[in-house]
Amino acid sequence: MKILLVDDHFVVRDGIATLLRGLFPEVEVIEAADGEAALEAVQRSVPSLVILDIGLPGISGLEVTRRLRQRLPQLRVLFFSMHDELPLVRQALDAGASGYITKGASPAVLVEAVRRILAGHAYIEQPLATQLARQPQGADGQDPRLQGMTQREFEIFVMLARGLPVRQVAEHLCISAKTVSNHVTLLKQKLQVVSHAELVHLAIDTGVLRLGGEALAG
Report the 3 state secondary structure along 160-193.
Answer: HHCCCCHHHHHHHHCCCHHHHHHHHHHHHHHHCC
- How buried is residue 201: exposed, middle or buried, by Cβ count under 10 Å (0-12/13-18/19+)? middle
pLDDT (0 to 100) of residue 218: 39
pLDDT (0 to 100) of residue 208: 73
Sign of torsion over alpha carbons 60, 63, 67, 72? positive
Angstrom distance (rounded) from CA 80 to CA 100: 6
Going by C-beta distance under 8 Å and a sequence separation of 6 or more, which residues neighbour residue 129?
Answer: none
pLDDT, tens digit, 9 for 90 and up, residues 9-56: 999 999 999 999 998 888 999 999 999 999 999 999 999 999 999 888
Sign of torsion over alpha carbons 125, 2, 174, 103? positive
Across residues 145-166, what is the average pLDDT? Answer: 80
Going by C-beta distance under 8 Å and a sequence separation of 6 or more, which residues neighbour residue 128?
Answer: 84, 86, 89, 100, 101, 102
Sign of torsion over alpha carbons 95, 85, 214, 206? positive
pLDDT (0 to 100) of residue 87: 81
DSSP per residue over 14-77, as a string? HHHHHHHHHH-TT-EEEEESSHHHHHHHHHHS--SEEEE-S--SSS-HHHHHHHHHHH-TT-EE
The percent of residues above 90 in pLDDT, for the chain, comes to 44
Q: What is the CA radius of gyration of the chain?
A: 17
What domains lie within the chain, and their CATH numbers?
2-134 (3.40.50.2300), 144-205 (1.10.10.10)
